[in-house]
Amino acid sequence: MLPLRLFLGFAFTYAGLSKIADPDFLNDDEPTSMHQTLLAVRDSSPIDFMLGPIASHSALFGALIAISEVAVGLGVLVGLLTRIAALGGMLLTAGLWLTISWSADPWYTSADIVYVFAFTPLAIAGAGALSADGWLARVSAREGAVPDVQAGADGTRRSLLAGALGLTALLALGGAFLARGPKAATADAGETTSGTAPAGTTPAGAPSTTAAGTSAPGTTDAGTTAAAPTPEATGAALVATSSVPVGGATKVEADGDEAWVLQLEAGKFTAVKAACPHQGCAVNFVSGSDGFICPCHNSKFSASGARISGVATSGLKKLDVAVGGGQVRLA
């Protein structure tokens, strides 16, 4: 049990403290916040009916989850009230599996379902000899007491240990809160980012044949801003050109899927699908320079959709778009 406890204990304690130390986690406007993550996975989750109310109180639930993760981690690590901690860990990871990891394909590649079952030996058999629970049981046996967690001296010792552990957790949480850095300034979807629309580019709303996602911020593709009139596109309309801010992006629906239409340079529209290639969460637009971030596992993508970092192994799927009738349309 010891290697399993060490791994799960450190992983959960670290995960909980990371959430507490992250100034963005409880800030609903941030792309990596609990709130945005819930919105990103709601449509694909089998428990979507629960996610709306939770998203409405995401700060409360986010704090509860972070503290629960720390409690589970420390309980499993020390081996105190291990079965209860393991059941808590199973509940937390089952929740993650049914939300963030539900779109994993193939399904058995989801880490969260593995975590659910990794807790089962601890929930069934307890922590083993090298644990606070084991020590308490030995002390009770030596003193001839009934090894009942609710009874007598054993129960008192267990309560004292739980209190000490709780105090340690509180101190750790306090330290983590103090260590929270200043909130990073990021632009939300739809906001204009400065410096991404160089002078001399095509005016907003002008017809464009730019291939989706091929333009990096501040660059101009040969042939995409030709002065010659371009036939108006007639594909399915995604969004009015006037609704996409210069230097920003607007979330739309394209062929039944969520997508982002960007106007990084005035008059040049590109589009990418919002589905993260890792496990399908909807990515959030940060800014023209910072691109997209996936709220589920923090994969990052450039504004053109190229993968920058994270567990996703490929970039966002690009959509070919063109302008016609004042609308950005599928080409």
Give the interface with ligand FES as residue ranges (CB under 6 A).
276, 278-279, 281, 294, 296-297, 299, 310-312
CB of 281 to ligand FES, least distance (A): 4
Q: How many residues does the structure list for the chain? A: 331
Please name which of 76, 328, 318 lies closest in space to residue 212, comparing C-alpha atoms.
Answer: 318
Smaller CB distance to ligand FES: residue 212 or 312?
Answer: 312
Cβ at position 311, least distance to ligand FES in Å: 5
Separation of alpha carbons 130 and 206, rounded Å: 71
For 270, list phi and psi in degrees, rounded to 5: -130, 170
- Smallest gap from residue 24 Cβ to ligand FES (A): 16
CB closer to ligand FES out of 215 and 279:
279
Residue among 297 and 317 whose Cβ is closer to ligand FES: 297
Q: Evaluate whether 265 touches 201 at the Cβ level (below 8 Å).
A: yes
Burial of 72 from C-beta contacts in 10 A (0-12 / 13-18 / 19+): buried
CB of 103 to ligand FES, least distance (A): 7
Euclidean distance between CA atoms 199 and 221, whole angstroms? 15
DSSP helix/strand/coil, 171: helix
Nearest distance in Å: CB 235, ligand FES = 28
3-state helix, strand, coil in the chain (%, to 5): 40, 15, 45
Nearer to ligand FES by Cβ, of 5 and 278: the residue is 278
Residues 276, 312 contacting (CB under 8 angstroms)? yes
User: Which of 323, 97, 325 lies closest to 224 in space, CA to CA?
Assistant: 323
Instruction: Compute the least distance from the CB of residue 239 to ligand FES, in Å.
Output: 24
The nearer residue to ligand FES, 94 or 240, going by C-beta atoms, is 94
Say if residues 158 and 134 touch (Cβ distance below 8 Å): no
Residue 262 or residue 281: which is nearer to ligand FES going by CB?
Answer: 281
